[in-house]
Chain A
Amino acid sequence: MKNNTVPEKVKIINKNSGEESNIISLYDTVEQAEPQNEIISIKGLKKSFDKNLILKGINVSFSKGTIAAVMGPNGSGKTTLLKCVLGLVRPEAGEITVNNINIKNNCEYRKFIGYMPQTPRFPENLKVKELIDMLKDVNGNECDYDEELLIKLNLQAIYNKPIGTLSAGTKQRVSGSLSFLFNREIIILDEPTAGLDPVSCEIMKEKIIKEKENGKLIIITSHIVSEVEALADRIVFLLEGNVHVNSTVDELKDRTDESNLNKAIAKIMVNHGS
């Protein structure tokens, strides 16, 4: 169902000075993503903080109608990678294109992207309603809003509360709803379910799947393997600043001979260590 017409894609990139690693011997197919569906393409992306190379030349592309999970241990550069796509972090080298627009010195391309940050914080003294109105206002008042999450997560009840009085989880719900509000083609969610209660969590997941079926690209980062397994079509696994694995979930399981994604991922990391 997941990959009805699209052939399974695997792409392994190894940047460690061209050395063959044991991962290459594990996977032998190296294919490009379908060009007609490709919406984000990242080539040779490098970024360092305080002389610490966080991203060491990332090559990866994402296509429409998929849910991609960016995974990796803490500090592997997941958030940095997403922030580079959003233009929040300025990369040192490499090229990112969104809908064939090179994002360097361009801000218009962001009208294709909805973003939910890891820890949302809004102006404390504004009311929820005012925040929503402001965002609509700034976005030029297009009328095609997707208010489904606002309604389902029961946020209309708190429209008149100042944001400063809301709990962390409630802010997370507001933030999540806002990322879907403008019906963007690409939705980037940085740990979307962290801090959400189980009910909201399920609503969120349903929404993610629904929007994928509407042909959107949804990129999530998460540490919760079961969640990734339930949602994602593809896994981009970052390790030490490189794309260590980029494949579909099923393929990852096949290749590692594990039926359990958790174990498959553990195996990848162990293989890397040896």
Chain B
Amino acid sequence: MAAKKILKYVIFDIMRSRLIITYTLLLLVLSFGIIYLGRDITKATVSLLNIVLLIVPLVSIIFGTIHFYNSQKFIEMLLALPIKRSNIFWAEYLGLAVSLSIGFVIGTGIPLLAYGASVTGVYLLLTGIFLSFIFSGFAFLSAVINKDKAKGIGLSLMIWFYLSILFDGLVLMISLFFNDYPLENVILVLTALNPIDLARVMILLKLDISALMGYTGATFEQFFGSMMGTIFSIGFLLMWITLPALGALRLFNKKNF
């Protein structure tokens, strides 16, 4: 109950910050631009997808980490009130994730709606929200682990770099080195290990353009068909939301402020 009240004010505070407004405007401009230039809404959605997969995790994790360090003193003040630690954590976490999601939905949703989005557009919004939540969790995790702000931001950048760039390289290397073996199952498992890949697969399954799907997408299609693939990826995305957040909560409960 107290958590809900704090949540309200945390969202108030974040929604007014310049960074989140810039983020929303940036997404607005990008989305309008891409859709306008792309003409075809499906092609535009794919281009938009690639940008969303890059920008949303980056902004979420960096903004989230900085936000945690900036709120630390305020959290300290809240902790001196008769409120459970876990409630304060959830209020802060949800406040961040919800604000980022709102910014994203406004920035990407309005252009998509204006140009008549398909189901894929809705899925794009959904993945963006998932990614905002997941990377808010990572942000809090790395901020709770590191007392030092610079180290925390460093770790966050590394997580982002690993998941959005390094990981694909690794998968590619594995598939090159072991291309004599049946790798489908391995690739499936590897994909589940990266929320960004999962998000990509989820959208691409909806788009039904096999040429663009790449290795992981094709395997998914083959194994599950569209429906099962979507359920599978949503399930794992949900797991990716809970794991970092719960990890961060555990450490938060033990933390010395």
B-binding residues in A (CB < 8 A)? 49, 83, 86-90, 107-111, 113, 115, 117, 119-126, 130, 134-135, 137-140
| Contact indicator A86/B80 (Cβ below 8 Å) | yes
| Contact indicator A126/B13 (Cβ below 8 Å) | yes
Q: Which of B12, B14, B71, B78 contacts A130 (CB 8 A)?
A: B12
| Contact indicator A123/B256 (Cβ below 8 Å) | no
Q: Cα distance A115–B17 when bound, in Å?
A: 27
Q: Cα distance A123–B71 when bound, in Å?
A: 7
A-binding residues in B (CB < 8 A)? 2, 5-6, 9-10, 12-14, 16-17, 70-74, 76-85, 254-257
Q: Which residues of B contact A126 (CB under 8 A)?
A: 9, 12-13
Complex A-B: 14 CB contacts under 8 Å: A89-B257, A107-B82, A109-B82, A110-B80, A111-B81, A115-B77, A117-B77, A117-B80, A119-B73, A122-B77, A125-B13, A135-B81, A139-B82, A140-B2
| Contact indicator B81/A139 (Cβ below 8 Å) | yes
Q: A89-B257, A117-B73, A121-B74 are in contact. List 15 more A-B contacts (CB 8 A).
A: A86-B80, A87-B80, A88-B256, A110-B81, A117-B77, A117-B80, A120-B77, A121-B70, A123-B10, A123-B13, A123-B74, A126-B9, A134-B9, A138-B6, A138-B83
Q: Which residues of B contact A119 (CB under 8 A)?
A: 73
Shortest Cβ distance from residue A81 to the other chain B in the assembled complex, whole angstroms: 13
| Contact indicator A124/B77 (Cβ below 8 Å) | no
| Contact indicator A110/B73 (Cβ below 8 Å) | no
Q: Cα distance A120–B80 when bound, in Å?
A: 13
Q: Cα distance A89–B85 when bound, in Å?
A: 12
| Contact indicator A115/B83 (Cβ below 8 Å) | no
Q: Which of B16, B71, B79, B82 has the most CB of A within 10 A?
A: B82
Q: Which of B2, B6, B80, B256 contacts A49 (CB 8 A)?
A: B256
